[in-house]
Amino acid sequence: MKESRNSYRNIVKATSIFGGVQIFNILISIVRTKFIAVYIGPAGLGIAGLFLSTINLVGSFTNFGLGTSGVKDVALANGTTNNIRIARIIKVLKRMIFFTGLLGMLFMIVFSQALSKLAFGNINYTLSFIWISIVLLFNQLTTGQLVILQGLRKLNYLAKANIVGSAIGLLLTFPIYYYYHVDGIVPSMIIAAIVSFATSRYFSKKIIVEKIKVSKLRIYAESKSMMISGFMISLSGIITLGCNYITQIYISKTGGIEQVGLFSAGFAIVNTYVSLIFTAMATDYYPRLSSVSKDNNLCKKEINQQAEIAILVLSPILLIFMVFIKLIIIILYSKKFVEIDSMLHWIAIGILFKAVTWSIGFIFLAKGDTRTFLWNELTGNFYMLCLTLVGYSFFGLKGVGIAFAVGFVFYLCQIYLVARFKYNMSFNKSFIKIFFTQVILALSSVVIINLFGGWLSYTLCSLIIILSGTISFFELNKRIGIMSFIKKK
C-alpha cells in the first residue's frame, strides 16, 4: 500500500512540476509574441512564423525522433543501475544527436534557396536560411541534453533547464528586437537556440557519468535500433501533420478561409492550454514506463495508475473549460470566435478518451514496438480524418468536435484490444469506476448546455463541476494522502 501511494505521489509530483514549467513557458511565449508584435509588426511576425515553421518541418525529417526514442534507451539503461551501460548509451546518443543536428544544418544550407522560394516565393531570404541552419543544430543538441535529464529522471534539473533557458533567451532577445526590428529576427533565433543549449548543457553536466571509450562497431549496433525507432516516431508525426493539412484544405474549399481560421483557433486553445497537462505528465511517465517495460504486470500497474491520475486531474479542469468556454474564447480571441464553442464542448469529451489512449499508447514506445505504434497511428489517423470530413460536411465545426470525440472512442477500443492481445493489458475496477463516472458527468454538462441557457445552465453545470472536483479530491486523497500532507503543514 505504501509503495503504491509513493508511486501515485511521484506521478502527481512530476505532473505538478512540469505543469508549472509548461505554464511558465506559455507565459514566456505570450510575452515574447506581444513584444515581437509591437516592434516588428504583423509582417515581421509572419516572417518569424515562416522561419519557425521551416525549422520545425526540416527538423521533423532530420532529427529521426531521437528526442523520444533516446528517452526510452536512457531510461532502460538507468533501470539496470549499470554505470557502464548508462555511460555507453549516453555516449552513443550524443554522437547520434550531433550527427542528426549536423544533417539538418547541412540540409538547410544546401536547400536554402529552394526553402526561400517555398516559404516566401522569392530567393531574398536565402542568406537568412543559411544563418538559421545554426538553429537546427543547436536545437538538436539541446534535445540531446534534455533527453539525458529526462531518461535519468533528473526532474529538477530538467525543469530548471527549461525555465532558465526560456527566461535568459527572452531577456537577451528583447534588446535585439528593440534596436533592429525585423533585421533582429534571425540573430534572435540563433541566440535563443544557443542559450537553450548552454543552459541544458550546464544542468546535464551536473550528472556524473563514467568516461568510457566506445568502438565504432558498438556505436553502430546501439544506434541502429535507436534511429529506426526514432524514424518511425517521426513518420507518425508527419502523418498527423498531413491529415491536419488535408482537413484544413477541405474546410477551406467547402466552408471558406474564415472557417479554417475558426478551426485553427479552436485547436490552438486545445493544443496550447489543455495539452500542457499531457506534456507535463509525459515527461516522467515515459521514462518510468520504459524502465519496467520488460515486465507486463508492472507495465499494467503503471498504465492504470497514470490513467487514473490523468482522469482525476483533467476531469474538473475540462468541465470548467466546457461550461465557461464562451468567456475563455472572448478573453483569448474575440466575440467573432464564439461559434467554436460547440466544437470545443465535444473536443473536451474526446480529451477524456484521449487521456486513456495516451496512457496505453506509451507501452508500444516503451517496449520498442514501433511497428505496432505506427500501425495504430496510421489507422487511427485514417478514420479520424474520415470522421472529421464527414462530420464537417453534415454539422460544420460542431461536427468536427463530434468526430474528435467519436474518433477517440474508436481509438481507445482499438489500442486497448491491441495492448491486451500483445501484452495482456487490462484496466482495474478502480479506474473503470472513475472513468465512467467522470465521462457521465461531462456528457451531462453537454446535454444541459444544449438544452438550457443562461443562469440555469451555469447553475446546474457548476454543481456538476463541484461534484466532479469533490470526487477527484477524495480519490486523489486515497492515493496520495492530501489531507495528511495538509495536516502536517
- Tell me the range of 81-85, 139-143, 221-225 where mean pLDDT is highest: 139-143
Whether pLDDT at 130 is above 90: yes
**pLDDT band of 350, cuts 50, 70, 90:** very high
Which pLDDT score, from 0 to 100, does residue 484 have?
Answer: 62
Q: What is the DSSP letter of 214?
A: -
**Domain limit, last residue, from 214, 244, 261:** 214
Question: How many domains, in total, are found in the chain?
Answer: 2
Which pLDDT score, from 0 to 100, does residue 7 have?
Answer: 63
Is 172 in the same domain as 317? no
∠ CA 295-300-304, nearest 5°, is: 150
Kindly report which listed range (27-41, 115-129, 319-333, 348-362) carries the lowest average pLDDT score. Answer: 27-41
**pLDDT band of 15, cuts 50, 70, 90:** low
**pLDDT band of 285, cuts 50, 70, 90:** confident
Q: Does 280 fall in a domain?
A: yes
**pLDDT band of 3, cuts 50, 70, 90:** low
Q: Does 221 fall in a domain?
A: no
For residue 53, count CB atoms less than 10 angstroms from its CB and return exposed for 0-12, middle for 13-18, buried for 19 or more.
Answer: exposed
Is 208 in the same domain as 239? no
pLDDT, tens digit, 9 for 90 and up, residues 204-262: 888 877 777 777 777 777 777 777 777 777 777 778 877 887 888 888 888 887 888 78
Which pLDDT score, from 0 to 100, does residue 68 have?
Answer: 77
Range of the domain at 23: 18-214
Is 122 in the same domain as 164? yes
Q: Does 207 fall in a domain?
A: yes
Q: Does 10 fall in a domain?
A: no
Is 189 in the same domain as 328? no
Is 161 in the same domain as 245? no
Q: Does 2 fall in a domain?
A: no
Whether pLDDT at 485 is above 80: no
**Domain limit, last residue, from 179, 214, 249:** 214
∠ CA 282-283-288, nearest 5°, is: 85
Dig out the grid coordinates for 138 from the structure. 543547436
**pLDDT band of 103, cuts 50, 70, 90:** very high
**Domain limit, last residue, from 153, 180, 214:** 214
pTM of the model: 0.77
User: Who has greater pLDDT, 273 or 479?
Assistant: 479
**Burial per residue of 69-85, b for 16 or more beta-carbon CB atoms within 10 angstroms, e otherwise:** bbbbbbbbbbbeeeeee
Q: Does 229 fall in a domain?
A: no
Is 163 in the same domain as 44? yes
pLDDT, tens digit, 9 for 90 and up, residues 148-181: 888 887 878 888 888 888 889 888 988 888 888 8
Is 451 in the same domain as 308? yes
pLDDT, tens digit, 9 for 90 and up, residues 352-390: 999 999 889 888 888 878 889 889 989 999 999 999 999
Is 371 in the same domain as 271? yes
Is 329 in the same domain as 466? yes
Which pLDDT score, from 0 to 100, does residue 155 have?
Answer: 76
Which pLDDT score, from 0 to 100, does residue 402 have?
Answer: 95
Q: Does 180 fall in a domain?
A: yes
Whether pLDDT at 489 is above 70: no
Is 337 in the same domain as 443? yes
Which pLDDT score, from 0 to 100, does residue 33 have?
Answer: 64
Q: What is the mean pLDDT of residues 333-341?
A: 82
d(CA 363, CA 304): 12
Q: What share of the chain is helix, strand, coil (3-state, %, to 5)?
A: 90, 0, 10
∠ CA 330-334-336, nearest 5°, is: 115
Please name the residues in contact with 340: beta carbons below 8 A apart, sequence gap of 6 or more: 262, 263, 265, 266, 329, 397
Q: Does 240 fall in a domain?
A: yes
What average pLDDT does the chain have?
A: 84
Is 198 in the same domain as 266? no
Is 204 in the same domain as 254? no
Q: How would DSSP label each residue in 30-97?
A: HHHHHHHHHHHHHHHHHHHHHHHHHHHHHHHHHSTTHHHHHHHHHHHHHHHT-HHHHHHHHHHHHHHH
pLDDT, tens digit, 9 for 90 and up, residues 293-330: 888 999 999 899 889 988 998 899 899 988 888 888 88
User: Who has greater pLDDT, 188 or 40?
Assistant: 188
Whether pLDDT at 399 is above 90: yes
Percent residues over pLDDT 90 in the chain: 33
Q: Is residue 4 within 8 Å of 146, Cβ to Cβ? A: no
Q: What is the mean pLDDT of residues 125-137?
A: 93
Which pLDDT score, from 0 to 100, does residue 476 have?
Answer: 83
Which pLDDT score, from 0 to 100, does residue 154 have?
Answer: 83
